[in-house]
Amino acid sequence: MAQQSANGLAPYDQLYIYYLEGHLREKNSAFGSCFIGNWEEGETSFLFFSAPADDAVDQLLGQEPHLILADRFVMPYDEWHGDPVEPFAAGRFLIMPPWRQVAGEPGDIPVMLHPGVVFGAGTHPTTRDCLEAIEGLCNTESIDSCLDLGTGTGLLVIAAACCGCRRNLAVDLNFLAAKTAHGNVRLNNLEDRISVVCGSAYDFLDQPADLLIANIHYDVMQDLVARPAFFDKKWFILSGLLRSEAVKVEAALSRQPVSIIKKWVQNGIWHTFLGRIG
């Protein structure tokens, strides 16, 4: 892959992260242009800034006394993601951040992905296996619609749309993830094919779709595969499963009108299933 863009710089030099116990009452508090977003996890909040924001956070704590500042961190942007966010190939998909565009080979499917501060830059083994499953399935079957539960950065639903799925719905419970996914849909000019919503996977499971994708926590997945609406789909890709979790999911599916077409196992740890229903 030959680099096209001379600007290989990440979008942020340093991340200034404020770890709070509790949730903000105002989800879109105005912190100024250096505010990146708020990641809520359990009963905690992580506020991300591209510059020091001690004064703004102190003001917030004064306005919302139920919040407690537990810690604060400063780290390079790439360190937050674990590795530098760089272009990579997964099958025919050529996935690249907008600040590091590269020229691919004939037949490549270019996907622009700005992960922001949301986990899901595409390098995790389960993500790569899901991409392979999407490409293989769409190459052999007519998949017109897709439901992606726990979409994260939106990479998987974007891949499905690029492979020909005309109607797609991406769902994530985390507001910052849904916002990031929506931004990536716009980056790839796929607003006419993909809708992104912030909400619970359970609330959207009954949406009609040929393909259901769930690269999601096991505690959610075990409930999804037990609900009747799961079996209204034609195909599924389930991932993000550790070995013991995969055994339980496969056992539950074995009692249903389901055929597992292919399995992926990475490092003996991460499991992904591609299956057909009915």
* Residue 222 contacts residue 199 (beta carbons within 8 Å): no
Q: How far apart are CA 133 and CA 127, in angstroms?
A: 10
What does the pLDDT read at residue 102?
87
What does the pLDDT read at residue 1?
38
* Residue 100 contacts residue 8 (beta carbons within 8 Å): yes
DSSP letter assigned to residue 229: G
DSSP 35-73: EEEEEEETTEEEEEESS--HHHHHHHHHH-TT-EEEEEE
Largest CA distance in the chain: 58
Q: How far apart are CA 274 and CA 136, in angstroms?
A: 10
Q: How far apart are CA 161 and CA 164, in angstroms?
A: 5
pLDDT in 10s for each residue of the chain, 278 residues: 333 444 567 788 899 999 999 999 876 557 888 999 999 988 999 999 999 999 999 999 999 999 999 999 999 998 898 888 899 999 999 999 999 888 888 999 999 999 999 987 888 999 999 999 999 999 999 999 999 999 999 999 999 999 999 999 999 999 999 999 999 999 999 999 999 999 999 999 999 999 999 999 999 999 999 999 999 999 999 999 999 999 999 999 999 999 999 999 999 999 999 999 99
Q: How far apart are CA 203 and CA 130, in angstroms?
A: 23
Beta bridge partners of 9: none
Looking up tokens 């796929």, which residue turns up?
A: 190
What does the pLDDT read at residue 6?
40
Q: How far apart are CA 112 and CA 35, in angstroms?
A: 23
- List the alpha helices (DSSP H) in the chain: 54-63, 77-81, 125-140, 155-162, 175-187, 201-204, 218-224, 243-254
Where is 75: in which H helix or E strand?
A: strand 68-76
Task: State the Cα angle at 199 between 121 and 240, rounded to 5°.
Answer: 40
Looking up tokens 């992904």, which residue turns up?
A: 272
CA 39 to chain CA centroid, nearest Å: 13
Q: Under DSSP, is residue 129 helix (H, G, I), strand (E, B) or coil?
A: helix
